[in-house]
Chain A
Amino acid sequence: MTRWLSNATVAHLRRVAEWPDLGATKYRLIGELGRGGMGTVYLAEDTALDRRVALKVVATAASAPEAAERMLREARILAGLEHPGIVPIHDAGALPDGRVFYAMKRVDGQRLDALAGTLPLPERLRIFRRICEAVAFAHARGVIHRDLKPENVMVGSFGEVLVMDWGVAKVLSEAAPPFSAAPNARTGGGTAEGTVVGTPDYMAPEQAEGAVEGTGPRADVYALGGILAFLLRPEPVAPKPLDAAVAKAKARRPEDRYASAAELSAEITRYLEGERVLAHSEGVLERAGRVFARYRAAILLIAAYLVVRTLLLIFGRHP
């Protein structure tokens, strides 16, 4: 048959042949969006609600029960994290061939790693704050992402920022206080001690060592520091206060990092608003420059008034 078809057509047919059978579900498959280690994400249409969704289907049916369990776990975690910055889940179930799937919001937009270079620094920092807010929310719910990186952040066409791929997230015990390092927190299942999960460039040292018990919210703070460093790359010279924030977020020891994603977000807010970044000790000139930049219009107006008044006193006609 291949004699009559081009290589591209054959490749397409092979790919389509691997597509899951959604016949018994309310979804109609449209195309493939991407592949990951755990499964494949398809673009599908929810025929009941007449809307497009992203359908994540576990890679194989029988050979990987752990993968299926992990995907269901991810679906449950997502279901418990209702936040504008976390991709919402709509549905979960099993296909006729036994493969587990879940349906989530289809995000029209770009991944942060592809988009970052096209945006000005303040816009990149605003996106970063939105990521921090979503992560802080997850931490408050006792969930640590553990694989935060630019590739796992989608920026929608209307500016919405969504943290994706919670497949290796860790659920802390309910007793764990939010926004703490929680060194003694128990895992909610999912990863065995000694198993390394995450992406090397964004992985906290304690996470890279496979210390599941010792991996707390500050591991995500480390990864957020990595994302911030990535967002500063397009700058010829990164601003010193932001460099200091990156250094603090990526400190080797968890206790030397920001205590929470919210604290890191507040630091970025301070930078954007012309306030002092706490991680950075600034000199007198640097401080003067920052204050002038922040209150430039006010300082110039007052200076103009004083100059005019002085000139009028010297050269003006007096009543």
Chain B
Amino acid sequence: MSKPVLGLVLGGILGVFDGLTAYFTPEARSLLLGIVIGSTFKGLVAGLAIGFFSKKVHSLPWGIVFGLAVGLFFAFLVAAMPQPSGKHYYFEIMLPGAIVGAIVGYATQVWRGKRLETA
């Protein structure tokens, strides 16, 4: 599996799980499907970008930093979308989104095609 494909798959999976955490917030349960779809799409796009970066730049610290930045950016785009209530939850969406991006950045950097190697 190539790094971009790994980024795509891992970004998508983590996006699903990140979206599903909304289940633990009773007020958001009615919006769960939309949140999961949005979070998954964000994860796929961010993961693909992070995967391509890892293919070009072989550096674990830079991979994590890039993942963090991309995750933060895409989470910002989601958080900035117009809400029916008019409120924006930048902090609540961007912080976990950035960490998920960093995790994808780490994974794509240590991925060597056949096996995971040390950090």
- Bound complex: CA A251 to CA B106 (Å): 41
**Knowing A316-B92, A318-B27, A318-B28 touch, does A308 contact B99 (C-beta < 8 A)?**
yes
Chain B interface main SS type: helix
Neighbour of B118 across the interface among A273, A302, A309, A318, CB < 8 A: A273
**Which of under 10, 10 to 19, 20 to 34, or 35 or more describes the interface residues of B?**
20 to 34
Neighbour of A296 across the interface among B25, B91, B119, CB < 8 A: B119
| Those of B66-103 within 8 Å (CB) of chain A | 83, 85, 87, 89, 91-92, 95-96, 99-100, 102-103
Query: B60 contacts the other chain (Cβ, under 8 Å)?
Result: yes
Query: A319 contacts the other chain (Cβ, under 8 Å)?
Result: yes
Query: A297 contacts the other chain (Cβ, under 8 Å)?
Result: yes
- Bound complex: CA A309 to CA B89 (Å): 14
| Chain B residues positioned under 8 Å from A298 (CB to CB) | 103, 106-107, 110, 119
| Chain B residues positioned under 8 Å from A304 (CB to CB) | 99
| Those of A249-274 within 8 Å (CB) of chain B | 272-274
Q: Is the CB of A319 within 8 A of B119?
A: no
Q: Is the CB of B118 within 8 A of A294?
A: yes
Q: Is the CB of B85 within 8 A of A297?
A: no
Q: Is the CB of B103 within 8 A of A312?
A: no
Q: Is the CB of A297 within 8 A of B89?
A: no
Neighbour of A313 across the interface among B25, B64, B87, B100, CB < 8 A: B25
Neighbour of A297 across the interface among B87, B99, B119, CB < 8 A: B119
Chain A 194-234 interface mask (CB, 8 Å, partner B; 1/0): 00000000000000000000000000000000000000000
Query: B59 contacts the other chain (Cβ, under 8 Å)?
Result: no
| Chain A residues positioned under 8 Å from B28 (CB to CB) | 318-319
| Chain B residues positioned under 8 Å from A308 (CB to CB) | 95-96, 99
Neighbour of A317 across the interface among B89, B100, B118, CB < 8 A: B89
Query: B21 contacts the other chain (Cβ, under 8 Å)?
Result: yes
> From B89, which residue of chain A is reached at the shortest CB distance?
A319
**Which of under 10, 10 to 19, 20 to 34, or 35 or more describes the interface residues of A?**
20 to 34
Chain B 54-65 interface mask (CB, 8 Å, partner A; 1/0): 000000100010
Q: Is the CB of A319 within 8 A of B85?
A: yes
The number of A-B residue pairs with CB atoms under 8 Å apart is 57
**Knowing A297-B64, A298-B107, A301-B106 touch, does A273 contact B117 (C-beta < 8 A)?**
yes
- Bound complex: CA A238 to CA B85 (Å): 63
| Those of A282-299 within 8 Å (CB) of chain B | 294-298
Neighbour of A319 across the interface among B25, B64, B95, CB < 8 A: B25
Q: Could you tell me the distance in whole angstroms from the C-beta of B107 to the nearest C-beta in chain A?
A: 7
| Chain A residues positioned under 8 Å from B85 (CB to CB) | 319
| Chain A residues positioned under 8 Å from B110 (CB to CB) | 298
| Chain A residues positioned under 8 Å from B99 (CB to CB) | 301, 304-305, 308
Q: Is the CB of A319 within 8 A of B83?
A: yes
- Bound complex: CA A294 to CA B117 (Å): 9
| Chain A residues positioned under 8 Å from B87 (CB to CB) | 317, 319
Q: Is the CB of A302 within 8 A of B24?
A: no
| Chain A residues positioned under 8 Å from B33 (CB to CB) | none
Q: Could you tell me the distance in whole angstroms from the C-beta of A311 to the nearest C-beta in chain B?
A: 9
Q: Could you tell me the distance in whole angstroms from the C-beta of B91 to the nearest C-beta in chain A?
A: 7
Q: Could you tell me the distance in whole angstroms from the C-beta of A43 to the nearest C-beta in chain B?
A: 40
- Bound complex: CA A313 to CA B92 (Å): 9
Other CB < 8 Å A-B pairs besides A297-B106, A312-B92, A317-B89, 7 of them?
Answer: A295-B119, A301-B99, A305-B96, A305-B103, A309-B96, A313-B21, A318-B28
Q: A residues near B, CB below 8 A? A: 272-274, 294-298, 301-302, 304-305, 308-309, 312-313, 316-319
A-B pairs, top 7 by smallest CB distance, nearest first, are A305-B99, A297-B119, A318-B27, A301-B103, A316-B92, A318-B25, A274-B118
5 A-B residue pairings within 8 Å (CB atoms): A298-B119, A305-B103, A312-B92, A316-B92, A317-B92
